[in-house]
A and B are shown apart, each in its own frame.
Chain A
């Protein structure tokens, strides 16, 4: 392997820091309020970096305030994904019927047409931020679980796990204290990729109009722009930036995960 991929890490962290500071301190990026009205459909100018939308809101301000909600949904659903994924992954690595059952479950969820199932379920349970996070997590854990299962099976074959059994530790203790720390680095890179796919999933769903309208994310913004006719007017300054922001955020997580993956390989 050549190069240490530090460049990826730095680029990723910079992009992430930018998004995070937008989320936490929107005030330093824009001096306008979220609901401050100007003339509608202004083109980009010095006063309005990206122009204004159909209602006269400053698009750049909207973008800055959308960062928090996008990150919130992405991070929270990814954390949930990771928890469900590692629990099922550890269970699936057991021998016997329980292991077979959970392995089967992983494989079934790998196959499910995720997007369609999510759309149908979102329609049934209603649109809210909480249900969106929950649904994305419920359908996104399979990949993590599969990786965890492989890792646990690898670790279990190691002599130190045998030593734990000989020393008479309970299975719970061995699993939590000796097996889980063994794959925590894999979990970290899965987590980063998970944030990536959760954000993508969320923005696609929000774009289709299944998002929480009270907490507009970038996906919801594109949906609004599309519905309000930005597309037909050729107002690309309204419809493209939120999508590009999703791309940049997702690249940030991707870059960091490339570095971590690489470091793991070298070790």
Chain B
């Protein structure tokens, strides 16, 4: 079976697993499912209220019927109801996901780009002195938890030097449409994006570097060098083509890493994104909301994997042409 098709199937299986996990968790764990699903403790509810929730959550019906109701809530895009916030879960997430993506996507692009540039450069010079020095630096950054990176950057750049703001995404009184909004937004995004980029860069770099190091000894590189091509041309026109596949796959995988990392960072920079929503949900024991966030982030991950696998097929001329022959 084609490797990429298999990857897509695995991503879908992962998605289904999360759906089933979401469904079973509140029902199987010790404790009253009504309490889990409404988010209120049993003692705080009047019997009438209790009955109301039981009814509203379809808990009297069979497990299979309940599962169908759950699937229906996913299919119509509501993802359930948060009784704590008295809002539909998907509306809550829709409000917040923008902020998360504004941090996650730039970091994804920048870290992949830098990983590629540095990885190719040092991979081609494997075991040289500069490669080793950079390798150790990389190791040290890799050992830093992302909250430490954030705190160090905050200490240096926003408290000591006061260059960047330390919280939020906009200045007070800023709203979309006002002049200077975009600049102000970028100014606020620099530190969170930098933190996340530094957090995911080491693993990206290492992966590109190791793949490039494998290619460095190949004969086509030697031949290209003999023809007098510049090192840069060799790196980007020859070696890059041969490591493009793992690079694309890796970029897709790092989407979920970036979204996950954004959750931590939002809490430090007080940004109202999905991560803040999740921690709020955890502190108020709003279980439907937590499940919604898990569902959406798994969904984002699955979409990323599918896109990258399609890209991998398109990027590889062998597979692209094979598909064209099949169609004839």
Contact = CB atoms under 8 A, between A and B. Distances in A.
A240 B297 contact: no
B103 interface: no
B168 interface: no
Interface in A100-136: 104, 107-108, 111-117, 119-125
A123 B18 contact: no
A108 B14 contact: yes
Interface in A218-241: 219, 222, 226, 231, 234, 236, 239-240
Interface string B218-261: 00000000000000000000000000000000000100100111
B246 to A, nearest CB: 14
Contacts of B281: 123
B10 interface: yes
A200 interface: yes
Interface stretch (A154-162, A182-190, A246-254): A246-254
A124 B11 contact: no
A78 interface: no
Interface string B271-298: 0000000110111010100110110011
B25 A246 contact: no
Interface centre among A2, A104, A208 (most CB of B within 10 A): A208
B70 interface: no
Nearest to B26: A124
Contact of B14 (A112, A243, A246, A258): A112
A196 B143 contact: yes
A244 interface: yes
A1 interface: yes
B10 to A, nearest CB: 4
Interface in B297-326: 297-298, 301, 305
B151 interface: yes
B125 to A, nearest CB: 13
Contact of A251 (B7, B143, B151, B260): B143
Interface string B142-154: 1111111001101
A116 B145 contact: no
Given A124-B25, A236-B155, A243-B147, A112 B142 contact: no
Nearest to B141: A247
B294 A243 contact: no
B139 A244 contact: no
Contacts of B146: 204
A76 to B, nearest CB: 19
A99 interface: no
A222 B147 contact: yes
A124 B148 contact: no
Contacts of A1: 127
A117 B298 CA distance: 9
Given A207-B147, A254-B142, A115 B260 contact: yes
Contacts of B305: 111
A123 B13 contact: no
A122 B278 CA distance: 12
Contacts of A234: 155, 159
Contacts of A248: 143
B11 A116 contact: no
Contacts of A222: 147-148, 151
B148 A243 contact: yes
A108 B9 CA distance: 10
A263 B317 CA distance: 39
Contacts of B23: none
A240 B152 contact: yes
A210 interface: yes
B264 interface: yes
Interface in B1-51: 7, 10-11, 13-14, 17-18, 21, 25-26, 29, 36
B263 interface: yes
A203 interface: yes
Given A111-B14, A123-B285, A248-B143, 4 more contacts: A104-B13, A117-B18, A124-B29, A240-B148
8 contacts: A107-B14, A112-B256, A113-B260, A115-B264, A119-B282, A204-B147, A209-B283, A240-B155
The 7 closest A-B pairs by CB, nearest first: A243-B148, A115-B260, A250-B143, A113-B256, A107-B10, A251-B143, A108-B14
Interface of A: 1-2, 104, 107-108, 111-117, 119-125, 196, 200, 203-204, 207-210, 219, 222, 226, 231, 234, 236, 239-240, 243-244, 246-248, 250-251, 254-255, 258
Interface of B: 7, 10-11, 13-14, 17-18, 21, 25-26, 29, 36, 127, 139-140, 142-148, 151-152, 154-155, 159, 253, 256, 259-261, 263-264, 267-268, 278-279, 281-283, 285, 287, 290-291, 293-294, 297-298, 301, 305
